[in-house]
Structure 1
Amino acid sequence: MNVLGFANLVLSYYLWTWTYWKRRGISGPIGFPILGSALEMLDSENPPYLQLKEWTKQYGKVYGITEGLSKTLIISDPDLVQEVFVKQYDNFFGRKLNPIQGDPEKDKRIHLFAAQGHRWKRLRTISSPTFSNNSLRKLKTTVEDSALELLRHIEQQTAGGKPIDLLTFYQEYTLDVIGRIAMGQTDSQMFKNPMLPFVRAIFGEPRKAVFLSGTVAPFTGPILRKVIFSLPQVFKNPAVHIIRQTAEAVENRIAQRMADEKAGIEPGEPQDFIDLFLDAKSDDVEIENNEDFTKAGIKVTRQLTTDEIVGQCFVFLVAGFDTTALSLSYSSFLLATHPEIQKKLQEEVDRECPDPEITFDQLSKLKYMEMVVKETLRLYPLGALANARRCMRATKIGNYEIEEGIDILCDTWTLHSDKNIWGENANDFVPERWESGDEHFFQKGGYIPFGLGPRQCIGMRLAYMEEKMLLSHILRRYTLETCSKTQIPLKLVGSRTTQPETVWVNLKPRDDN
């Protein structure tokens, strides 16, 4: 075959993929030849997850898009969500990943978010005790210390009634917490943390050329990944810097523990996630093959490798930084714009948390605060990127035949504002809708801020604890008020997560304190 013939063959294959959904009788945005809708899914000025909502209005609750050679079915039908994430989990246990993110089967530093099959099951089993109530209770003091440190900075910055951008303050807080409980950071580094610019950059403007290359030409993914990680000074990839810092922290801890053991020093209580993962053991996990990881077969190691510990700490650092900071930002905006709800929440905090220190058990009594947080996550869902699965075996959901390799992405923003689930006031901030609990919303497949099914976010309870702790301390001292700089409505940006551009508010000291 000559070069021209080969080029025609390749072009024909791309065009065949580009028209995949049309040939199957499924509507959706056609996008551009070869690229499909890849550019829209990388547009941080028009967040992709809000774009999905617009497409859903146009094409309905089930439609298809292509991104290069990737074929994705978008769903916001709660029955189909339940089918994919829960009932047919064994057919959808993989993630929707760009090839430059690594091979979930071979990457030595694979983490819980990207892993699939037996590797995921093993990592999840070993990691789960790290987020148990018993473990979180031990972390409470560290979380509260960071909250009080942030309050000191807030007090300094708001002197004289000056407004502040709470988003930047909350990012300082969440990075401080996760650095101390996951990365061996021994004290607060708030407003002087050298890691902050790198972590922020991960959620900034995406490197479109790199991601497009992995999408349009998947075979280039492993090559690009190797080059990027080999030449960090050239590509300035923030993830490389964070992974190297994480690896250094893990290696230093291993060396310290070996030295202590040689000196006859007994290991004490775990200091952070690194210690917890080094100590972690799981029940026997048996494997036959990665295609059906419900079968029993051979036993695997009961401990994490050093590379796997680096991977887990990296993903918890990145995920723990962004999502909790955003949830706090959205909660604060909604409280500032709904003073009657804020007053009710302050009354609960005053009643349940009367002492200077807030205990772990007192946090669990803040029922109205839990409703506020859940309602915030409904109106501003954070985990839309995570609400995607890859079909690992051909199957059928509803009336749709799904081939192996097809990605399923939930349009979470549409799902969370569906009037058939939430009623005519679906677009309003009404924490009281959660008074009867949330089980029925989960059962309907209509509420998935932390995902759904076996791959639901492992850090959910830690995020709740961080948010409730900080909001309690803030609301005991201040009332949040809008100011001339407050964006109403918020301008939303971002491609990996959807975040407010700013959250400027006034923090008015409470007269009743």
Structure 2
Amino acid sequence: MKEWTKQYGKVYGIYEGLIKVLVVSDLDMLQELFIKKFDYFHGRKNLVLQGDVDNDDRVHVFEARGLRWKRLRALSNPTFSSSALKKIHGTVEDSALELVRLLSPQADRGAFNIHVYYQELTMDIICRIALGQRTTNFFNNPLVNFVSNLFMRSMRWPPFLFGHLIPPARPFIKWTFLKIARLFGLSGSKIYEIATDAVHLRLKQREEDSKRGIEPGEPADFIDLFIDAVSDEKIEDGSDFSKSELHITKRLTTPEIIAQCFVFLLAGFDTTANSLAYASYLLAKHPEKQKRLIQEVDEYCKGETIEYETLGKLKYMDCVAKEALRLYPLAAFASSRTCMKDTTLGDIEIEKETTVVADVWTIHRDKTIWGADAEEFVPERWENPSNRHIMSWFPFGAGPRTCIGMRLAYMEEKLALAHILKRFEIVAGPETEKELQLLGSTTVSPESVTIHLKRRE
């Protein structure tokens, strides 16, 4: 897209099969798209295999739109509140400490691909907080390969390509694909089965406890939080999405709980692993930035463990994380919307069902926004941010549909990096990639991040 934007400008149209797509890097138009005209663009870009987002009882918060999205978002928000994150902080840190233990044999030995370790970390965390896994399970979890394969499939994969070319055929494509997936145990079907089993097991445990008069304790993970979730959200006459009052179910149904666990497994795996990999690569290539970050970690993280409140004091680490996400936005695919009713963006008329895509990569490296050093890794630019446009940086999306798991992702990244840098330096060597080779389409992953670990004295 970046080359097309250079050639055609900040707004241009393309076709994905029969679907009209408007590609936009004009910041004012994007503010309209994500914020000011959210009522017109509350649906994400339609996926080939997502099915009926309005009626399927297994739709999750990422796919849902309209009133259904509003309800699912309201019920899911408490799961990612500060109080909820504090409850799972110990679990996340336990996985981070296991990561450090497994990295230790690599120190002072030679170059290795650290990205695979981060994939194991993020899968371990998400399985423990969303699928009921009780202990760490690094390098023994088949879901790592299942989910990696799912993300690596290109949009040129035949079912996706055929669905783009002939949108009316999508229901048949999905039905056929799911039948084949169940028959051969393919990735998406297998992951959904695991989520289903985990939720049903927890519900059965609760039912048995209830019969014995045992009250539920503090929520231990996402499954508990979703089961307990209650929304007081009221959708009244004159709502943004509807002109009539609707009855809103205040609890998640069992299929919805399963769907939320499923999507948070997918969303929480590749994105955070990639973010850690990109940050590690950039720190290895810029040892002076890493030295400053180590000084901050040493100042605030003196004990064996790191308190939840301490993470908020790691201001330079915030800068490092934000700058890495600027240079390598994780899921630009999510920064797209479907027009739900005819409207305009700027002075351009937009027809219903048109897809609008934000060209995040171009915006994040635009020298007119970031200055002459836009292509450089400069965490300090975040210490005293100028009055940049609200849409100049949005790796987690923007507006009401901003990534719900953003704070969890930051917590994971900070804990992992802090525990690594307490013990090691991340060092570039002759084997380290001069430029990262990027793969994938749903998320953009590095093919590998080859570094050395040097044990700190």
Secondary structure at 1:293's aligned position in 2? coil
Displacement of 1:304 in angstroms is 0.5
Displacement of 1:163 in angstroms is 2.1
Q: What is the total number of aligned residue pairs between the two structures?
A: 456
Cα distance in 2 between the residues matched to 1:77 and 1:374 = 21
Partner amino acid, structure 2, of 1:427: E
The answer for the alignment partner of 1:268 in structure 2 is: 217
The answer for the alignment partner of 2:302 in structure 1 is: 354
Displacement of 1:136 in angstroms is 0.6
The answer for the alignment partner of 1:17 in structure 2 is: none
Q: Does 1:169 align with 2:106?
A: no
1:300-341 deviation digits (Å, cap 9, x = unpaired) = 110001111111111100010010000000000000000000
The answer for the alignment partner of 1:5 in structure 2 is: none
Q: Does 1:495 align with 2:441?
A: yes
The answer for the alignment partner of 1:94 in structure 2 is: 43
Cα distance in 2 between the residues matched to 1:437 and 1:464 = 19
The answer for the alignment partner of 2:84 in structure 1 is: 135
Displacement of 1:423 in angstroms is 1.1
Partner amino acid, structure 2, of 1:254: L
The answer for the alignment partner of 2:382 in structure 1 is: 434
The answer for the alignment partner of 1:329 in structure 2 is: 277
Moved more, 228-237 or 410-419: 228-237
Q: Does 1:126 align with 2:75?
A: yes
Q: Does 1:406 align with 2:354?
A: yes
Partner amino acid, structure 2, of 1:380: Y
Partner amino acid, structure 2, of 1:317: L
Cα distance in 1 between the residues matched to 2:34 and 2:425 = 40
- Cα distance, 1:123–1:263 mapped onto 2, change above 3 Å: same
Contact 2:432 2:450 in 1 (8 A): yes
Q: How does 1:455-494 map to 2 (within 5 A)?
A: 455-494=401-440
**TM-score, normalisation: structure 2:** 0.97
The answer for the alignment partner of 2:181 in structure 1 is: 232
Contact 2:107 2:454 in 1 (8 A): no
Cα distance in 2 between the residues matched to 1:153 and 1:382 = 26
Cα distance in 2 between the residues matched to 1:478 and 1:201 = 31
The answer for the alignment partner of 2:94 in structure 1 is: 145
Secondary structure at 2:152's aligned position in 1? coil
Contact 1:334 1:429 in 2 (8 A): yes
Displacement of 1:295 in angstroms is 4.6
**TM-score, normalisation: structure 1:** 0.86
Cα distance in 1 between the residues matched to 2:246 and 2:55 = 18
Contact 1:287 1:293 in 2 (8 A): no
Contact 2:118 2:273 in 1 (8 A): yes
The answer for the alignment partner of 1:415 in structure 2 is: 363
Secondary structure at 2:337's aligned position in 1? strand
Displacement of 1:421 in angstroms is 1.2
Secondary structure at 1:408's aligned position in 2? strand
Secondary structure at 2:422's aligned position in 1? helix
Displacement of 1:100 in angstroms is 1.8
1:442-473 deviation digits (Å, cap 9, x = unpaired) = x4311110000000000000000000000000
In the alignment, structure 2 segments of 5+ residues that lack a partner are: none
The answer for the alignment partner of 2:25 in structure 1 is: 76
Q: Does 1:284 align with 2:230?
A: no
Displacement of 1:424 in angstroms is 1.2
Partner amino acid, structure 1, of 2:452: N
Answer with 1 or 2: which has the greater Rg. Answer: 1
Q: How does 1:8-23 map to 2 (within 5 A)?
A: none
Displacement of 1:263 in angstroms is 1.2
Cα distance in 1 between the residues matched to 2:293 and 2:447 = 26
Give structure 1 regions of 4+ aligned residues with deviation exceeding 6 angstroms: none
Contact 1:228 1:237 in 2 (8 A): no
The answer for the alignment partner of 1:179 in structure 2 is: 127
Contact 1:246 1:313 in 2 (8 A): yes
Contact 1:287 1:299 in 2 (8 A): no
Moved more, 496-505 or 221-230: 221-230
Cα distance in 2 between the residues matched to 1:233 and 1:241 = 8
Cα distance in 1 between the residues matched to 2:181 and 2:398 = 36
Q: Higher relative contact order at CA 8 Å, sep ≥6: structure 1 or structure 2?
A: 2
1:363 to 286, 291, 311: 311
Displacement of 1:69 in angstroms is 1.2
Cα distance in 1 between the residues matched to 2:5 and 2:180 = 41
Secondary structure at 1:448's aligned position in 2? coil
In the alignment, structure 1 segments of 5+ residues that lack a partner are: 1-51
Partner amino acid, structure 2, of 1:470: A
Displacement of 1:426 in angstroms is 0.8
Cα distance in 2 between the residues matched to 1:233 and 1:296 = 40
Contact 1:83 1:397 in 2 (8 A): yes
Displacement of 1:483 in angstroms is 2.0
Moved more, 201-210 or 227-236: 227-236
1:279-300 deviation digits (Å, cap 9, x = unpaired) = 000013326699x526561221
Secondary structure at 2:49's aligned position in 1? helix
Partner amino acid, structure 2, of 1:179: C
Displacement of 1:58 in angstroms is 1.2
The answer for the alignment partner of 2:338 in structure 1 is: 390
- Cα distance, 1:299–1:234 mapped onto 2, change above 3 Å: closer
